[in-house]
Chains A and B, each alone.
Chain A
C-alpha cells in the first residue's frame, strides 16, 4: 500500500502474524551509489548485515539489526509507479480518495532498551542528523528525533522494549485535514489514543490512534513543523518537561504513551 502522493510501489506492507508490531523499517537512498557507501560503513563499524538481492517490486537491499532490536533495511531501487496524478499538467489532488486519504508515510518512532546506544548507532553509522533530543538530569539522551530529509524527523527512538514499534506516521497537510481526519476516525469508531493536538517536539500536529491489531498510527501535521537546515543543531528538552514535549496542550502524558506499543 501507499499514500496517493507517493511515487514508488509501496510504503506500507502488512503481513499476517500471531502478534502485532514491526517487521522492519526500510530507508531509501538518494542515489544507487549511496547503498555502496553504506555497505562500506557497515563493514567499517563491524555491523553484521546481509544483502537481500531483491524483494517484492524492489531491488537490492542491505539488511541488518540495529542495537534497538529492529530489522533495518537500506535500498535504492523500487518500481516507480508515479503518484495518482498525471505526470503532465496534474491537478493538485486526486478525487475519489477513501477515508482520510493520506498522501505519504512520514516517519516512524520505535523503542529501545538503551536508547542512547541506538541513537548513537543511527547518528554515527547511518549519519542521521538530530533535530531534537530529550535528556535525563545527567544529560544522557533518553530519546531523539533523527532526520535525513530536511524535516524534523524520519525516525525517532524512545525508551522501551527491544524491537518495539511505537507508531508509524502519515502526513496530513493542513489543519482542515487534521480535523477531517479526526472526524473520519470517529465515524469509523477507531480508538483514538490522543488528539487532535500538537507536539512540543517537532511542533507538528498529531492524532494518535490504533489499527485493529493494536499498532499505533499517527496523522502527523508536518505543515506546522519546521524545516531543518543542513547545519541545524539539536533542540534539547529536559526530562522534567517530557509531558509538554510530547503533548504540548495537554501538558501531561496520557496513560498509554510510554506503556502501550507493539
Chain B
C-alpha cells in the first residue's frame, strides 16, 4: 500500500482570547507567526 498522506498538515484550534494565546504559542512554544487575518476566518 503506497503512502498517500505525508503528515498531519495543520490543526485549527479555538482560542478564547487570541492575543493572549498568540503570546503563548509564539513566545513559549516558539512557533513562527506567519500570518494573521481579522479576528476570525473560516
Contacts and interface: CB of A to CB of B under 8 A. Distances in A.
Contact of A18 (B1, B12, B16): B16
A81 B35 CA distance: 12
B14 A2 contact: no
Interface residues of A, number: 71
Given A30-B4, A105-B7, 20 more contacts: A11-B8, A11-B10, A13-B10, A16-B17, A16-B40, A23-B14, A25-B8, A25-B11, A28-B5, A57-B35, A99-B26, A99-B29, A106-B8, A107-B8, A148-B4, A165-B13, A211-B25, A213-B15, A217-B29, A230-B1
Interface residues of B, number: 37
Nearest to B1: A127
A4 interface: yes
A1 B28 CA distance: 13
A181 B30 CA distance: 10
Interface of A: 1-4, 8-31, 34, 37-38, 56-57, 74-75, 78, 81, 84, 97-102, 105-108, 126-129, 148-149, 154-155, 165, 168, 170, 184-185, 188, 190, 211-215, 217, 230, 262
